[in-house]
Amino acid sequence: MKKIAFILLFVLVFTLSGCMKDSPDYTLNDEVYGGSDKGLTEAPSYFDDDASGGNIADFADNPVLANRKIIYIANLAILADDLDTVYDNITSKLVTYDAYIEEEEVTETRYEVTIRVLSTNLMDFVNDIKDSGELVSYSKTSEDITNSYSTFEARKDALETQHVRILELIEVAVDLEDILTLEAERIDIETELNEIGLQLATYDSLVDYSTINLIMVKTEDVVELLPRTDKPYLEVNDYGTDFISVKVFNTSENTTTIHLIVKENGVLVESFEQDAYGISYLEFSLDNLDSNTSYSFEIYSEEDDHSVSLSNLSTITTNRTFFIKVGDVFVVSFDTLVAIGSFLGLAITAISPFAVVGVILYFPSKILYVKKIKPIMKIRKAKREPKE
């Protein structure tokens, strides 16, 4: 009976916990918001449309916004002659706005700082930073995480209820197999609770303290803040003994100014500058060039409100004339003969020591043969011949 009661109680616990996974509907300012399965209605916009990006509405005046979980991120880029002074001025106000520096990277001409500020003070601090130097760019984004946050909270409540029931069942369990099963379930629940707790803590941090990504650059280095124009592409169209024709492709979607510089051994031959529509190409031709000569082609492009693109470098060599080709054949033939002569000379030089040694050994060997070996051979031959 105890085991049957235990099983019934275990089933009842998980049935109740499953029912708690769906958070109920609730009403806020006459607007109904669904639970995790129904999704939440999008948060209304409380930003104005001015060029500076708008101001966050006062939470106290907008209770709907105040009860939403929204992450704000502001991005600013400013120019200044004296970066150290601007940096010191901004950091001196961290306490005033309840802010702190999360990360920073500083060079002689560029400061990149990530600041976390109390969300209710975000726009006041941003407006203060704007006045610290020459504002180049500014943007602000918001992410409504209310739906995700509510889902995690509902799941956390359900798991906590399950956790309490599991602990109660462990206390009354007798069978070892049941105890092990319940302990495994307890560990799984506690692990998931820890993960959800970390996620909710991260959400709370991002909601309570907004992020400001600040870039400060010296005035003379303004080009570093501008987006770079897309790099153009060069393709050889045709070339001969005294001309080269190329195509230059504008890979940007916007109209750009194409620059083409042609040089020979570092000396300027000709330069071109012409506008090209987005995703199009221009043709350039050069005539009266020297044959069998290498020319370097440097191309780059630029468009409004962009820095100059990276350069594309290519080398093209004109064809040889008929006489140059004949001369090249003669030179190659002559070089071949010279190579053969050199090979024969090296062969003779390599063999000559053996020839000298052969000559030196030849005469003594011949004298030895005539005086010693030949008489002996005659005697042996005579002995082998039969007598008449």
Give the single-character DSSP code of 370. I
The verdict on pTM exceeding 0.75 is no
Q: Tell me the one-letter amino acid at 79.
A: L
pLDDT of residue 41: 34
String of DSSP letters for 56-103: PPPGGG-HHHHTS-EEEEEEEEEEES-HHHHHHHHHTTTTTTTEEEEE
- Helix (H) or strand (E) segment spanning residue 356: helix 322-368
Between CA 376 and CA 327 the distance in angstroms is 69
Count helices and strands (H / E) in the chain.
8, 14
Per residue in 352-362, is it b (16+ CB within 10 Å) or e — as a string? eeeeeeeeeee
pLDDT confidence of 123, banded at 50, 70, 90?
very high
Per-residue CA distances from 99 to 177, 178, 296 (Å) = 54, 52, 55
The confidence score (pLDDT) of residue 16 equals 41
Tell which residue, 212, 37, 19, has the closest CA to residue 111: 212
Is 228 buried (19+), middle (13-18) or exposed (0-12) by CB count in 10 A?
middle
Q: Residue 47's pLDDT is what?
A: 32
**How many angstroms separate the CA atoms of 306 and 300, rounded?**
13
pLDDT at 116: 94
Any idea what the Cα angle at residue 129 is, between residues 126 and 131, rounded to 5°? 115
- Residue with more model confidence, 48 or 194: 194
Q: What are the extents of the domains in the chain? A: 2-218, 227-317, 334-388
Which stretches of the chain are assigned E, i.e. beta strand? Answer: 26-28, 31-33, 70-80, 99-106, 110-118, 134-144, 209-218, 233-239, 244-250, 256-264, 267-276, 280-286, 294-302, 312-317
**Distance between first and last Cα of the chain:** 142
pLDDT tens, position by position, 302-353: 888 777 788 888 888 888 776 666 666 666 777 787 788 777 777 777 777 7
Q: Please state, in angstroms and rounded to a whole number, the distance separating the CA atoms of residues 246 and 238.
A: 7
Which CATH architecture does the domain made up of 227-317 adopt? Sandwich (2.60)
What pLDDT band is residue 92 in, cutting at 50, 70 and 90? very high
SS3 174: coil
| 135-187 residue pLDDT tens | 888 899 999 999 999 999 999 999 999 999 999 998 888 888 888 999 999 99
Q: Which residue has the higher pLDDT, 125 or 388?
A: 125
